[in-house]
């Protein structure tokens, strides 16, 4: 392991993004060494003073904004769910995390079975994958960075203290790109929409980043592979800030193998789109749900008629059907249902009808 690289603290040059409003103001590094909040202003504590000084608690090492951050509500892993619900994992209808239930093309299992050097660290530059993506997207590999899921790239971008925006139509996007801000366009679900990718726009717009993922499109959520297109003036700083071995050997091999079978990816996408239409129509028939049209592989529904979103989620879980509910301000009283296979929709509808009685 390259320890020297891991523990270096790097400071990007102020020129890094001088034309952008979201300029990085703090050092970006793999490890940030912070003084204890309680000791920061003390210069030379006397022996007596240090004796009476309280030992710091762990949270004094944590940045203030992180201390007040609401925790992410993670979904439960299959094995834990299975034990809790008393059902075999294969008997659980999992529509709570927008995964692709068809999984990856068969080439992925073959490639994983044939891994020759799993004991060797992965290529820090994910060269094979970036070359395959360059062919797939029609964008040169120098503009592309791969990550341990799109989530890692979002995290990297946030560490540079830029702002994030999500936009849909071309006209709005062009207007926003005219502003002196960095725009991060999340295309995690682009394959399920009728929109064209804007990855190649990064060549013309120095303030645009476009993120994509293999989680939805290729059914590889568990392998963790995402990628992004970046302007050359930004990508060089992400190369410096990222973990050296962020994309595992298994993840890179799997993503490359998935790209070898575009017909499979297209077929699975079409099956999910068909199912999305059927699910939408069926949900419209449920008197306590108001589904919203979707451009992704999930359908958001408002829970109406005095029913409780959390209770619906819990009752369905008892029947082995997992969906997601929201209890935060903006989406309180809403549920989100991932599009699954036809039999998943059938199980969901059976459960929802049982709740109507
Ligand atoms: C909008 C959006 N972006 C990014 C992600 C994360 O993608 P990945 O699995 O590649 O981290 C998700 C995951 O559900 C998502 O909904």
Judgement on whether residues 197 and 244 belong to the same structural domain of the protein: yes
Same domain, 120 and 87: no
Domain membership of residue 15 (yes or no) is: no
In this predicted structure, the answer to whether residue 15 has a pLDDT above a threshold of 50 is no
pLDDT above 90 for 138: yes
Q: How far is the CA of 167 from the centre of ligand 1 (A)?
A: 15
How far is the CA of 19 from the CAs of 16, 204, 351, in angstroms? 9, 15, 54
Q: Give dist(CA 282, CA 276) in Å, integer.
A: 10
Question: How confident is the prediction for the chain on average, in pLDDT?
Answer: 84
182 and 211: one domain?
A: yes
Tell me the average pLDDT across 84-92. Answer: 90
- Of 227, 260, 293, the domain-final residue: 260
Structural domain includes residue 39: no
pLDDT computed for residue 34 by the predictor: 36
Ligand 1: centre distance to CA 221 (Å): 9
Q: End-to-end CA distance of the chain, in Å?
A: 60
Which atom of ligand 1 is least distant from the CA of 215? 9
Q: Which among 235, 260, 285 is the end of a domain?
A: 260
Q: What atom of ligand 1 comes closest to residue 152's alpha carbon?
A: 11
Instruction: Report the CATH number at residue 268.
Output: 3.90.1150.10
Boundary of a domain, candidates 241, 260, 279: 260
Is 199 among the domain residues?
yes
Residue of minimum CA distance from atom 2 in ligand 1: 188
Centre of ligand 1 to C-alpha 150, Å, is 6
> Collapsing DSSP states into helix, strand and coil, what is residue 77?
coil
Residue 118 shares a structural domain with residue 249: yes
State whether 153 and 199 are in the same domain. yes
pLDDT band at 213 (very low <50, low <70, confident <90, very high): very high
Task: Of 14-23, 34-43, 60-69, 192-201, give the lowest mean pLDDT range.
Answer: 14-23
Distance from Cα 75 to the centre of ligand 1, integer Å: 13
Mention every residue, 6+ apart, whose C-beta is less than 8 A from residue 64.
Answer: 37
Query: Ligand 1 test: best mutation among 149, 222, 252, 339, most atoms within 8 Å of CB?
Result: 149
More confident residue, 27 or 72: 72
| Pocket around ligand 1 at a 6 A CB cut-off | 98, 149-151, 186, 188, 213, 215, 221, 226
**Ligand 1 centre distance from Cα of residue 36 (Å):** 34
Instruction: Give percent of the chain above pLDDT 70.
Output: 83
- Closest protein CA for atom 1 of ligand 1: 188
The answer to the question of residue 229 being in a domain is yes
Count the Cβ atoms, other than its own, within 10 Å of residue 345. Answer: 20
The whole-number pLDDT of residue 53 equals 65
Rounded to the nearest angstrom, the distance between the alpha carbon of 231 and the centre of ligand 1 is 21
Residue nearest to atom 15 of ligand 1 (CA): 188
Cα 148 to ligand 1 centre (Å):
11
Residue 131 resides in a domain: yes
Ligand 1 mutation pick, 154, 215, 225, 251, max ligand atoms within 8 A of CB: 215
Give me the mean pLDDT over the 214-219 stretch. 96
Report how many domains make up the chain: 2
Tell me: do 121 and 252 sit in the same domain. yes
Q: Are residues 186 and 205 in the same domain?
A: yes
Of all protein residues, the one whose alpha carbon is nearest to atom 3 of ligand 1 is 188
In a domain, 119, yes or no: yes
**Nearest CA among 165, 156, 291 for reference residue 226:** 156
Of 33-47, 62-76, 114-128, 252-266, give the range with the top mean pLDDT: 252-266
For ligand 1, the distance from its centroid to the CA atom of residue 256, given in whole angstroms, is 19
Q: 290 with 245, same domain?
A: no
Where residue 168 sits, what CATH number does that domain have? 3.40.640.10
Task: For residues 233 and 332, state if they share a domain.
Answer: no
pLDDT single digits (tens) 255-306:
999 999 999 999 999 999 999 999 999 999 999 999 999 999 999 999 999 9
Q: Which atom of ligand 1 is nearest to the CA of 221?
A: 9
**Residues 129, 202: one domain?**
yes
Whether 227 is covered by a domain: the verdict is yes
Q: Which residue has the higher pLDDT, 19 or 48?
A: 48
Residue 29 lies in a domain: no
Q: What residue numbers bound the domain in which 213 lies?
A: 106-260
Pairing of strands 183-186, 208-213: parallel
Same domain, 118 and 233: yes
> Sorting pLDDT into bands at 50, 70 and 90, what band is 51?
low
- Do 284 and 163 belong to one domain? no
Contacts of 72-77 with C-beta under 8 Å, sequence gap 24+, read 75/322, 75/324
Q: Which of 20-24, 75-79, 107-111, 154-158 has the lowest mean pLDDT?
A: 20-24
């Amino acid at each position: 392991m390259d320890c020297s690289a891991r523990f270096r603290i790097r400071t990007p040059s102020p020129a890094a993004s001088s034309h952008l409003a979201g300029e990085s103001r703090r050092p970006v590094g793999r490890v940030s060494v912070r003084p204890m909040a309680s000791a920061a202003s003390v210069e030379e504590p006397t022996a007596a003073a240090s004796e009476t000084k309280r030992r710091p608690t762990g949270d004094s090492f944590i940045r203030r904004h992180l201390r007040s951050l609401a925790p992410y509500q993670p979904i439960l892993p299959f094995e834990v769910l299975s034990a809790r619900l008393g059902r075999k994992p294969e008997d659980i209808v999992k529509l709570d995390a927008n995964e692709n239930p068809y999984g990856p093309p068969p080439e992925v299992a073959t490639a994983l079975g044939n891994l020759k050097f799993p004991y060797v660290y992965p290529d820090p530059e994910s060269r094979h994958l970036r070359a395959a993506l360059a062919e797939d997207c029609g964008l040169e590999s120098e503009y592309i960075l791969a990550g341990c899921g799109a989530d890692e790239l979002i995290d990297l971008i946030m560490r540079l203290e830029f702002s994030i925006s999500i936009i849909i139509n071309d006209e709005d996007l062009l207007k926003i790109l005219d502003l002196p801000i960095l725009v991060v366009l999340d295309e995690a679900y682009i394959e399920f929409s009728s929109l064209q990718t804007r990855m190649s726009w990064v060549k013309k717009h120095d303030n645009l980043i476009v993120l994509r993922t293999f989680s939805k499109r290729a059914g590889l959520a568990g392998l963790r592979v995402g990628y992004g297109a970046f302007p050359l003036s930004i990508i060089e700083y992400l190369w410096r800030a990222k973990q050296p071995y962020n994309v595992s050997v298994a993840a890179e091999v799997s993503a490359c193998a998935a790209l070898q079978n575009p017909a499979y990816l297209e077929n699975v996408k079409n099956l999910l789109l068909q199912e999305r239409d059927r699910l939408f129509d069926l949900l419209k028939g449920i008197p306590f749900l108001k589904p919203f049209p979707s451009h992704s592989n999930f359908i958001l529904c408002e829970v109406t008629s005095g029913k409780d979103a959390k209770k619906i989620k819990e009752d369905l879980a008892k029947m082995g059907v997992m969906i997601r509910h929201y209890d935060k301000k903006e989406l309180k009283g809403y549920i989100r249902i991932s599009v699954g296979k036809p039999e998943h929709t059938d199980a969901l509808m059976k459960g929802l009808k049982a709740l109507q009685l």
